[in-house]
Amino acid sequence: MHLLSTWVKHPGIRGADLCIVSECLQSVNPKLFEELTHGCVTLLACPEKEGGLHYGKLAMILRTAKPRSLKVVTIDGSPHCIQLHTAANAAELLLGRPIPKKHVVVVDGVEPVEVDPMAVRVSRYLSVVDRLFRERREEVLRELAKHSIEVSEELARRRGSA
């Protein structure tokens, strides 16, 4: 099922353990997709092709279907996928009550890493991220270069012109 085309009162999601998953994970790593979605009702989403409609839809699902828990699984580093994590936090805020929730990112298409919901909130505040980045710049750049083609190429370019 797809998040945006699922009826908010669909009987299959009422009271369920719900997983919102980046649609591309199915093709990036089918085995991991199966492992991460085992035991939950899975709704696929792709903010890149669907736009920002996930915020309202997810809030309505949490309000109407009252799932038992929510897990958001996306590809780490995607500028689009992060919207699913922020939508989950926003939906919980709009709901006015906490819901058992996990944020998981898949690093380099193979390694699932659970992320603190507060880290998702921090990611929205670039001034805070920038201050933290400046404090550990070299360490962060080394780690980021392991995962980001553009960062590794930029660092190589800088070394070549130094």
User: Domain of 115: which CATH number?
Assistant: 3.40.50
Rounded distance between C-alpha atoms, residue 113 and residue 135, angstroms: 23
Residue 155 has pLDDT above 90, yes or no: no
What rounded mean pLDDT belongs to the chain? 94
Where residue 101 falls (left for φ over 0; alpha for ψ -120 to 50; beta otherwise) is: beta
Q: Give yes or no: residues 74 and 138 share one domain.
A: no
Q: How far apart (Å, rounded) are the C-alpha atoms in residues 91 and 159?
A: 44
What pTM was computed for the model? 0.92
31-60: per-residue pLDDT in tens?
Answer: 999 999 999 999 999 999 998 889 899 999
On whether both 27 and 97 belong to a single domain, the answer is yes
Whether residue 13 is found in the same domain as residue 93: yes
Same domain, 44 and 112: yes
SS3 content of the chain, % helix, strand, coil (to 5): 55, 20, 30
Rounded mean pLDDT, 128-136: 95
Q: Same domain, yes or no, for 116 and 55? A: yes
- Domain interval for residue 10: 3-124
Euclidean distance between CA atoms 47 and 79, whole angstroms: 9
Task: Report, as an integer, the average pLDDT of 126-139.
Answer: 95
Of the candidate ranges 18-32, 43-57, 61-75, the one whose mean pLDDT is the lowest = 43-57
User: What integer pLDDT is reported at residue 111 of this predicted model?
Assistant: 97
Tens of pLDDT, residue by residue over 86-125, are 999 999 998 888 899 999 999 999 999 999 999 999 999 9
Report the percentage of the chain scoring pLDDT > 90: 87
Q: Do 79 and 148 fall within a single domain? A: no
The token duo for 143 is 């780690």
